[in-house]
Amino acid sequence: MTTSLHDFVKEGLTQPVSAEIQQAAQIIGERLGGVAVLFYGSVLRTNDLTGLLDFYVLTEGVQHGGLRGTVSQHLWPDISFEETRVGDTLLRAKVATMPLDRFAAAASGDLLDTTIWTRFVQPSALVWSASDMVTQRVTDAVAAASRTAARFAAVLGPQRGSASDYWTALFRQTYATELRVERPGRESQILAYNPERYETLLRLAWQADALEFDDNQGVLEPEISATLARRVAKIWRTRRRMGKVLNTARLVKAAFMLDGAARYGLWKIKRHTGIDIALTPWKERHPVLAAPGVMWKVWRQSGKQK
C-alpha cells in the first residue's frame, strides 16, 4: 500500500462534479463570506440536480455580530437554505456554515463534537476554494477527520474483524451519541456505496495514526494497548454524555435562526429525534424566544425514550 492518507483524501476531494454544482458552490460560498465549500450527501452520488444539495461553507471567523454571532461561536454550524440559479437550472441547497479553524479542531477530535469527523470520514468533494492555501487546510482537516474516526473505530469496534465491522460499530455509536433516529441498517447502507473505499481508508488512517495492526486476508486486528483503550474509552464516555445535550441545542438553534425557522425547525426536530413538538402561533411569531422552551421539551422527552 503506497498511497498516503493525505493523497487518498486529496484524490477524493477532487472527484469530478457537474459544472452547475461548482458554480452554485462558488456563488453561495461568496454570498456567505466563505473561503471554501465542501459538497457531500446523496446528490454527490446521484448528481440529481433536482434534489437538495448539501454544502458546508467554511469561513475565516464568525460571520455575524450580536446575539447570533455569540451563539454561533459555541453552537456551529449556522444552517440556511439557499436557492441559486445557474443558467436555466434552479439549484436548492441546505448549507451549513462555520469557521474553518473550528472545523479543523472538530475534525481532529479536540472538541466534544462528533458530527464533523463522522460526516467527513464519508465521501465529500471540495467544489470551491479561495486559494491553494485554503485547499491545503481543508485537505489536512478532512484527513484528520479520517484519523479521528479510525482511532475511535479501533477501540469501539471488535477485537478483530473486517474493515466493515469497525466502521459499522463506529457509526452505530455515533448515531446514538448524536440523538439521531436512523433506519436499521443505515450504517451498512453508507458502507455499501463504496466498500473498497472504506477498506482502504481504515488501513491508511491507522497507518497515519501510527496504530499497528495485523491483516490476515482482510481480517484486521489493531494492537490496542491498555493505556490507549482506557484513554479513548474515557474520551468517548464524555462525548456520549454531552453529545445529546450539544446536538439538541444545535437542532433548536437551527430551528429558530433561519427564515421560516419555526415551521421548518420543528419538522427537523421530529425527523431527527422522533419527537413531535406542536407549532403554535406564538412560536411562529417569536422563534428565538420559543427556542429555550422547545429545547427543554426535546431534552426531557428524549430522556423518556431511553
Could you report the per-residue pLDDT of 212-231, keeping only the tens digit for each?
A: 999 999 999 999 999 999 99
| pLDDT, mean of residues 79-88 | 88
pLDDT digit string, tens, across residues 170-197 = 999 998 887 665 566 778 889 999 999 9
Mean confidence (pLDDT) of the chain: 87
The span from the CA of 211 to the CA of 148, in Å, is 12
Residue 64 has a pLDDT of: 57
pLDDT digit string, tens, across residues 31-50 = 999 999 999 999 999 999 98
DSSP state of 74: H
Residue ranges with strand state E in the chain: 34-40, 52-59, 78-86, 89-99, 124-129, 213-216, 219-222
| 232, pLDDT greater than 80 | yes
Helix axis angle, 100-107 to 132-156, nearest 10°: 30
pTM of the model: 0.82
Greatest alpha-carbon pair distance for the chain in Å reads 62
Beta-carbon count within 10 A of 279 CB: 14
| pLDDT, mean of residues 252-281 | 71
Is residue 282 a contact partner of residue 251, using CB atoms and an 8 Å limit? no
pLDDT digit string, tens, across residues 127-142 = 999 999 999 999 999 9
- Domain edges within the chain: 5-224, 243-304
Beta-carbon count within 10 A of 34 CB: 26
